Amino acid sequence: MEIFNAGGSLVAFAQRFYGAIENNPKLAEAVPKGPEYYLRRFYYDVAQAYHPVTLRALKTLVPMSQILFGTDFAFRTALQTIEGIEKSGVFNAQELRARGVHRVDAMAEAHHIVVAPHSGSLGPIAEFAALHVLAAIPNTLILERLEDDWAGRYEVTDPVPRTVDGYLPVPDRPGLGVDIVEDAVARYPSKKNVAVSGSPDTGAYEMGTFDEQVYFQTRFHRRKAFARSSRRSR
């Protein structure tokens, strides 16, 4: 089980669990190994929780194996999160390298879950990043992508991701193996999600936000369904 935002108030209130079992023998029977044993079995992501005090408290409570990378997009980007974690000074270089995608993949592999990232909507650079990850892990399923969603994607990078006999070749150049063609990018300034044009009247967008962060906003109309399922699950 994963707990978001570095556990929220759970880490700060950890001592209260000990007080609770001291005053309630029946509750103590339910956690025979003590609260900390069970708290250390959860996973905690660091989405919007990279203040050094927060991270230091979490790292004190649980081992590094239980700390995951998370961003809470669109409130914080991956870059902001990475910079915040590095600036906190809580983790050393080796610990930072151990976090992120490969840690999530290892969890999936342990539970016999295959990985199928969706890169089509994220653009060609993200697609190349996904290619390298899938080539390096044992539990790859597919790369979910749209070959012809937007013609411009085949102009803005060198090389371009092209399917050959059902496969995408993994670049062997340095880094992600791809360069940005800046002149082409300049010809295509960001104009929302070009693959799913939509309109302000579809109900997919919060009122007044049709022109803002469309990749995120297109999910707006689903919140009622998720809210209902959350209540049922409780």
119-152 pLDDT, tens per residue?
A: 655 677 888 888 888 887 777 888 877 777 777 8
Question: What is the separation, in whole angstroms, between the first and last Cα of the chain?
Answer: 15
Rounded to two decimals, the pTM is: 0.47
Burial class of residue 111 (count of CB atoms within 10 Å of its CB; 0-12, 13-18, 19+): exposed
Confidence of residue 52 (pLDDT cuts 50, 70, 90): very high
pLDDT at residue 58, rounded to an integer:
92
Is the pLDDT assigned to residue 167 strictly greater than 80? Answer: yes
Residue bearing the bigger pLDDT, 69 or 48 = 48
Cα(104)–Cα(98) distance, integer angstroms: 10
Contacts of residue 61, Cβ cutoff 8 Å, sequence gap at least 6: 7, 11, 14, 36, 39, 40
Of 30, 94, 88, 103, residue with least CA distance to 58: 88
Query: What does CATH list as the number for 100-189?
Result: 3.20.20.120
Distance (Å, whole) CA 36 – CA 132:
37
Residue spans per domain, the chain:
1-98, 100-189, 190-234
Whether 26 has a pLDDT exceeding 60, the answer reads yes
* Cα angle for residues 67, 71, 76 (degrees, 5° grid): 145
**By the 8 A CB rule, do 61 and 11 touch?**
yes
pLDDT for residue 81 is more than 70: yes
Higher-confidence residue of 33 and 80: namely: 33
Q: What is the pLDDT of residue 165?
A: 87
> Going along 65-148, which residue ranges are E strands?
67-68
pLDDT band at 55 (very low <50, low <70, confident <90, very high): very high
Q: Say if residue 34's pLDDT is above 70.
A: yes
Cα separations (Å) of 231 from 7, 23, 225, 227?
A: 21, 31, 10, 6
